[in-house]
Amino acid sequence: MSATSSPDVSALLAGRHRILVTGGAGFIGGAVVRRLLRETEALVFNLDKCGYASDLTSIEGVLAELGPRALSPDGQSRHQLLRVDLTNAEATAAAVRQADPDLVLHLAAESHVDRSIEGPGAFIASNVNGTFHLLQAVRSHWEQLPAERRDTFRFHHISTDEVFGSLGPTGRFSETTLYDPRSPYSASKAASDHLVNAWHHTFGLPVVLTNCSNNYGPWQFPEKLIPVVILKAAAGEPIPLYGDGANVRDWLYVEDHVDALLLAANRGELGGSYCVGGHGERTNQQVVEAICILLDELKPTGAPHSRLITSVTDRPGHDRRYAIDPTRISGELGWQPRHNFEEGLADTVRWYLEHQRRC
């Protein structure tokens, strides 16, 4: 791990006490919720439809670990689950009224590219219409806040570098890169980014946006590359590798992304966007081979796990390369990743070997 320290989250919140996290039962949202519960006294409202990728086990574990700190001074749990589907406008509005937030971190989305190719409708419904419903509900809430709360209120939209399309062998995405989404997932996220910016420019909603590269770490639903490879390899099953394995992703450990989110949500320029990535470019082949080598050490079987690597038909329209230039968030907000890829991957492999997911 690097010597960079994590941000002081309580100080960052600057008095914002009621935090609404959408998608807080998912992989990255869950990491945000855990940090807020552990490192602040904030009340966390977790709006999630609790779909296939959701798992509250890690949050329940943190609440148990916190003991009396899991409760607010008036005795209510500091984690309130609002089981709501953003595709339902009325339920979304009611949830926002109930949360009465000082800060919103919007992570809820359908998130898997392959599912977006098989069934794009759910991605339009959740990511586009869901974001629209949330923006309308939050705008109405913000407009009715007393002046001192309205002045410090913020809405942070969490997005992906996939909205920028695919790079050739050189160059990196930055805040000025033009949008060029190429999958139903990235197109739906791009649409939601545009809605968020429109609500800022048209209605004055105080928003900030981040576009992050691929995340990995504990609690990721095992349909994404890294957990799929770990679990298949550990079970001695064929490890699927798309096409020639040369697609490049810029991998970032999830806790480093959470640092960036908490900085941008609280201190980012309103109406601005920040690209987040940790100089972690690797081909899929390199990632799969690194996992196999780790498993050779941690779970030896007498034969190299790499023998299980099996080339499968490539994803249609598979973007070739993503890479992020994080100069803006590093320079303006002091963000630096705390984990390098080798150490973060080793921790992740150990975690998946030790944990069984509930769903």
Q: Which residues are marked as active site?
A: 161-162, 185
Rule CB under 6 A: is residue 107 a binding residue for ligand NAD?
yes
Site membership for ligand NAD, residue 108 (CB under 6 A): yes
Q: 4-23: which residues touch ligand NAD (CB under 6 A)? A: 23
- The answer to whether 189 contacts ligand NAD (rule: CB under 6 A) is yes
- Residue 236 CB, shortest distance to ligand NAD, in Å, is 26
Query: What is the nearest approach in angstroms of ligand NAD to the Cβ of residue 22?
Result: 6
Burial class (CB in 10 A: 0-12, 13-18, 19+), 88: middle
- Note whether 253 binds ligand NAD by CB under 6 A: no
How many angstroms separate the Cα of 150 from the Cα of each of 14, 179, 261, 267, 296? 14, 31, 21, 16, 55
Distance CA 79, CA 85 (A): 18
Segment (H or E) for 215? strand 215-216
Q: Find the farthest-apart pair of alpha carbons in the chain and give their distance in angstroms, rounded.
A: 67
Q: Which one of 6-14, 44-52, 139-147, 233-241 is the stretch in contact with ligand NAD (CB under 6 A)?
A: 44-52
* 51 contacts ligand NAD (rule: CB under 6 A): yes
Site residue total, ligand NAD (CB under 6 A): 29
Distance of CA 59 to the CA centre of its chain: 16
Stretch that binds ligand NAD, among 104-112, 135-143, 196-204, 339-347 (CB under 6 A): 104-112
Contact flag: residue 130 with ligand NAD (CB under 6 A):
yes
Task: For residues 176 and 296, give the distance between their C-alpha atoms in angstroms, rounded to a whole number.
Answer: 43
For the segment 201-230, give every residue that binds ligand NAD (CB under 6 A): 212, 214-215, 221
Could you tell me what percentage of the chain is helix, strand and coil, using 3-state DSSP and rounding each to the nearest 5? 45, 15, 35
Pair 195, 179: CB distance under 8 Å? no
Q: Which CB, 49 or 338, lies closer to ligand NAD?
A: 49
Q: Does 186 bind ligand NAD (CB under 6 A)?
A: no
CA dihedral 352, 354, 356, 357 (to 10 degrees): -50
Query: Closer to ligand NAD at the Cβ: 12 or 128?
Result: 128
DSSP state of 317: T
Contacts of 194 (CB under 8 A, 6+ apart): 179
Q: Among 46, 48, 325, 345, which residue sits at the site for ligand NAD (rule: CB under 6 A)?
A: 48
Residues that bind ligand NAD (CB under 6 A): 23, 25-29, 48-51, 53-54, 85-87, 107-111, 126, 130, 158, 160, 189, 212, 214-215, 221
